[in-house]
Amino acid sequence: MRFARIEIVKKKAEKYVTERTFEKHMGNIAKSFTRVDNTLELIIKELHVIKQEQRETRKDLTSFASDVLRHDRRIEDLTIRVERLESKAR
């Protein structure tokens, strides 16, 4: 197995920041902020969607729970009626 030879390139360090270098780095920083901003916007949109889904789920669960209670009451009422009819039939 042969390993690729890695060459190290040493760059001369500039003593002063030139206008060109400054603008180049500021451009890179601006691009970085733009990417972060876009990512944050996507995250916020996702959070809004999740919040809306949770709201709808809570609403559905609440209506489901009230339906269950209503059906339980009707079953109880019907059970009582059947028991009364059975007692009259004896």
Where do the structural domains in the chain lie, given as residue ranges? Answer: 55-90
- CA atoms 69, 70, 75, 81: torsion sign: positive
12: pLDDT strictly greater than 80: no
Tell me what pLDDT residue 69 has: 92
Distance CA 56, CA 58 (A): 5
How much is the pTM? Answer: 0.53
Residue 54: CA count within 13 A, CB half-sphere: 6
Q: Which residues contact 14 (CB under 8 A, 6 or more apart)?
A: 21
Contacts of 25 (CB under 8 A, 6+ apart): none
| Dist CA 73 CA 68 (whole Å) | 9
Look at residue 88 in the predicted model and tell me its pLDDT.
Answer: 87
Q: Decide which of 56 and 19 is more confident.
A: 56
Give residue 74's pLDDT band: very low, low, confident or very high (50, 70, 90).
Answer: very high
